[in-house]
Amino acid sequence: MIKFILYSSKHSFDLSKEELNGLISEARYNNNKNHVTGILLYLNNAFLQYIEGPEKNIDTLYNKILKDDRHHSLSILESGLKPARKYEEWTMLFKKVSLQESDQLLQSLKPSKKDVTIDDLSPEDIKLFFDQFEL
């Protein structure tokens, strides 16, 4: 079985292009060695990441990610075991979501509210938000 974790977190600071590239190359290099695949979304003020792989490797990785001071306030939205991978071909698919794109999506999730941010969403709504980016 494959273990997966979907979590959200807050940036500790705005990462420069170089810092972001560094993070992604490090993640891809390690994930390739550790049979981990997944997707990382970089939003205006938050990360959303889905990681999947052998249970031991995912637990080890999540513990490392948890201690990483480039972000904070991690919150697991969903985790468990499943028979097959979703991101078979991606050591870490990366997408920077523009403010406009995320605003549009947030507004469609909460049509009755004004100026919605990801902080206004429940874990279930954040999952729905994430699902829009799934492969």
Ligand X SMILES: Cc1cc2nc3c(=O)[nH]c(=O)nc-3n(C[C@H](O)[C@H](O)[C@H](O)COP(=O)(O)O)c2cc1C
Question: Rule CB under 6 A: which residues touch ligand X?
Answer: 23, 26-27, 30-31, 40, 47, 49, 51, 61, 64-65, 68, 70-71, 92
**Residue 107 beta carbon to ligand X: minimum distance, rounded to whole angstroms:** 25
- Which element (helix H / strand E) includes 8? strand 2-11
Q: Supply the angle between the helices 99-109 and 123-131 in degrees, to the nearest 10.
A: 120
**Residue 18 beta carbon to ligand X: minimum distance, rounded to whole angstroms:** 15
Nearer to ligand X, 93 or 107 (CB): 93
Nearer to ligand X, 32 or 98 (CB): 32
Q: What share of the chain is helix, strand, coil (3-state, %, to 5)?
A: 40, 30, 30
- Bridge partner residues of 72 (DSSP): 10
**Residue 77 beta carbon to ligand X: minimum distance, rounded to whole angstroms:** 14
